[in-house]
Amino acid sequence: MIPSKIYNAVPDATLVCSITLAYFLDRNFPIVTIIPFPASLMGWLVIVAGIGLAVYILAALKSKHTSTDASGVPSEFITHGLYSFSRNPFYLSYVAIATGAAFILGSLAAFAAPVICFAVMHLMIIPLEERNLQKKFGQEYARYKQSVRRWI
């Protein structure tokens, strides 16, 4: 098992590394530009929206005095607000930020960032959180999973 401090760093590290990789690929292997300048500047709006979403979700979690760690056990089950549309709005914000960066870079190769970010969150981070929520909240969480999508 991965120690929790390392595991908790995986989402942030994934976001930073996927954007860094996208930049490297864009500069060295751009393949083809699919979003030319100035349309690529719309990526900044996507990044700002993603950051705003992340700040909003962190504030909501902190206001309920529940865990913000990927491997943490939540003390409260939140199903209102953005959690009524997505079970993982925080990780959705990470994918939005990575997508915004890909838009800014503009090349097809840069879109590796949101794909990598989504894959790590979907396959590694979210399953652990769902197991923790299932253990802690049982049937209530099972019903929630049936009524709210994982992403959007």
pLDDT of residue 66: 87
pLDDT of residue 3: 61
Give the span between the Cα atoms of 146 and 152, in whole angstroms.
13
Q: How many residues does the chain have?
A: 152
Give the span between the Cα atoms of 4 and 71, in whole angstroms.
6
Closest C-alpha to 129, from 149, 150, 143, 115: 150
Average pLDDT over all residues of the chain: 92
Q: Does residue 38 have a cis bond before it (omega within 30 degrees)?
A: yes
pLDDT of residue 23: 94
Q: Are 78 and 64 in contact (CB under 8 A)?
A: yes
59-95: per-residue pLDDT in tens? Answer: 999 998 888 887 777 888 899 999 999 999 999 999 9
**Cα separation values, 99 from 5, 32, 45, 65, Å:** 26, 17, 11, 30
Could you tell me the pTM of the whole model?
Answer: 0.92
Q: Are 32 and 108 in contact (CB under 8 A)?
A: yes
Give the span between the Cα atoms of 101 and 76, in whole angstroms.
33
Stretches where the chain sits below pLDDT 70 are 1-3
pLDDT of residue 106: 94
pLDDT of residue 69: 82
Would you report the helix, strand and coil content of the chain in percent, each value rounded to 5? 70, 0, 25
